[in-house]
Chain A
Amino acid sequence: MTRFLHDREFLSGRATVSQALTDTAYPVPSDASLTKGSFVITEEGQLQWSSGQEWVPLAPPGTEMMITPWVDVPEGWFEISGKLGGDFVNRRIIANLFDFGYVEGTLVSWFLPVASNMYETSAGLIQVASPPAPVGRVLDATIPRLDWVQPVSGNRPSWGQVNRTVAEEVEVIDQITFNRLGQAFQIAIPTTISGTMFVCTSVGIYALGVTILSGTYTYGRWDRHPVEEILINNKFFTNTEIEAFKNFLVEVRHRIKDNFAAMPIDLNNAWRARTDIVSFPVIDTSNVTEFGQRAVSNTQTTGAWEGCANLQTFPVIDTGSGLLFNGTWSGCISLTSFPLLDFTSAIELCWTWLGCTGLTSFPLIDTSSVVRFGWHSTSVSVRSQGTWMNCTGLTSFPLIDLSSALSLDRTWFGCSSLLSFPLLNTASVTSMKGTWAGCSAMSQNLNHPIIASFPLLNTANVIAFGNGSSTESSFGAWEGCAAFTVFPLLVTSAGTDFGRAWKGCSGLNSFPLLDVSNGTVFAGTWQGCTGLTAFPALDIGLGQIFGHRNGGNYIGAWFGCTGLTSFPLLNFASATSVVHAWSNCTGLTAFPLIVTAACQSFGFAWFGCTGLTSFPALNFSSAIGADAAQVNNANGFNGAWSGCTALTTFPANMFNASNTRAYHSAFTNCALTQTSVDNILVSINTARAAFTLVNGQIDITGGTNATPSVGTGRPAVDALRAAGWTVNVVGY
């Protein structure tokens, strides 16, 4: 597809007007003897040359030729920078013998830290004298100059020197060290650059594909090794060009070509947040054990390529020694595929591919040694993250080996496009906090609409299906899997924490008779399961926590199960908190006489149960909220029946044994009869007298609540007010 040019004649202008370019297809139909000197590029990208006798793959060394712009530079050839004129303005010239002059024209910035180029301050007034010294400005070696500066005194990298033996002579090599604590250089990039960046470090040269947007570009924030030279080209080099250029840098500039095997064993943060990187080279990482730092309590560190948001491809590097991959490719949102790397030694893959939203499939990597696929933080400011969390493009997942896995916390959290899930070996897993939370598309086998696609995983050893005891950042195993209509009968007998496990599974229209008999935490477990119309007689006898209220975070076991029309007589004998447990269960018309003798906190338990007309005589004798420390939203009966707009009948003596003064908004917006209002006031006043409760508050206002009677209710009101209580009732 092109035409032979005699060595350098074209560039010198002596052969600018010769034969026309040929558009001969490959294979060339004509006899090679008739087209001596002509070239074609095969479908495989190989360049073939007519020797006059046959088509041969090699041209004489030093050959230069033109190619049309839509033809890629073949391997083994180098593009010569420079402009042609006339009819050849859109042609490219290539050569098969490298010369630095060929690429000099594409060089946008050349970071060359030698003493004569460096200044202590960014103003460039004080030249560095002797190492070590901070460096505020490095003069760029190209024209126009794009100097590398650091205007903030505290963030200036350090200049140092090492001795290097070259051809039996010791040479002093200048290096710049970035401390990975904020030191970096800034370069004012006038127009966007797309090309190859050569970074010469103390352990070797690597060539990155980069796109650097116009504006201020920051370099060095996380650089792992001292840097000796950087060359930024506004052209992507071929592998041949890269190799030749590296050889040039070694031979002429005495750089280390490849000693990456001597790298430190960790690459934590090494290219973190390098949004300029679009491709990464193969370097020797065979000795690296940490590609992402170990997760420890309350800390958050990141992986080698975390936040490389524009990294489009990743090569097959040697990860065979890698133990830790926490956050390694997290946030690489432009990756659309991932190579089959070696994870046979890996033990931690916490948030490894977090937020890789471009991935649509994932290879069958060997994860047989991995213990932790997710990490649950105890701190609200530190992320709890799972391996493939928020990989929203994944529609399926391979049958990876989980045989060593203990934790799957948030592992597939937010994989909202996952349609099905394989039957993985989860026999050793003990923690599934938020494992599939937000997998909102995962529902049924598309070919069998009645069969749930979520497999019958082995969950026999899982203790935590959620973390329902605390904060907003806690999630349940299947929270938000809104497309589930049925759920398999998993073995859950070892589970103790079911907090938010099925929260928001609004498509579930039934729930299996799971063994939750060891469960102690059920806060938010079925919250928002609006499709449930009935609830099975589960054994929740050890259940203690059925809800909580932290700030604006309202969590209750059946909160918002609006489809429930009845509720079974479950065993609440161990319950200590039913805060928000049945809030907004608007379909309930009656409530069973459950055992609540041990329950301390009833805050908002039946809030908004608009279908309830009466209430059973539950045992409230353990309610707390007597002292200041206990009077909060969750304790006592604050808001407990608020908004029960149909509730007319409330029994007498309900609060006689309740040592609490927390009834704030307890009965607002109800429909209580006068007798019921009197029952409540008299009972609370009885408790006041028995426990000497002062300064409490009770609200029985709004809705169609009756006024207390003159003979019964109002004297109780008077007595309470005399004890400092705030009593808000209708008409008195």
Chain B
Amino acid sequence: MIVNFFRFIDRAFAWIVQFLLVAILIAMVAVTFSQVILRNFFQSGIDWAEVGSRHAVLWIAFLGAMLATRARQHLNIDAMTRLLPRRARNALRVFLDAFAAAICLLLAKAALTFVMEEYAMGGDLFLGIKEWMVQAIIPFGFAMMALEYCIGVVLDILRIFYPEIQRRQPMAEGGR
């Protein structure tokens, strides 16, 4: 069934994002830690360590936000939604997801313009990596978040007619 196909894509994609996230985090720890050891014991260092980890944070921010979108764990003011009855809350969710998708799409468009300009300038960052390559995560991240919210809208509307479509289980229990 088509829903199962989407579910497969969704899981595979979440797995890739998670894998990238963990890899970048571990790499950041390794590089920063080696920097401390090299400086204090060998009077040397990695000259791109700081630039590298600062940009790793940018990627972590967007990959983490993508996962947060998927798990609907973004920080928000949820006092109102807690007070609403279930049906009203579901209706509101469709509306808010559509709204979030629209804003994310606009941000993705703005980010694309930004990255295109940076691409034209072509600045080097470190180890031959160009600035625009690292910045590309911004439009990509926003586009993926917009897509995720769109899927949420479609599934929520489908659920009105086919109540048997299950709500996706959150990947794991987070802090919130």
A and B interact: no
Q: Which residues of B contact A (CB under 8 A)?
A: none
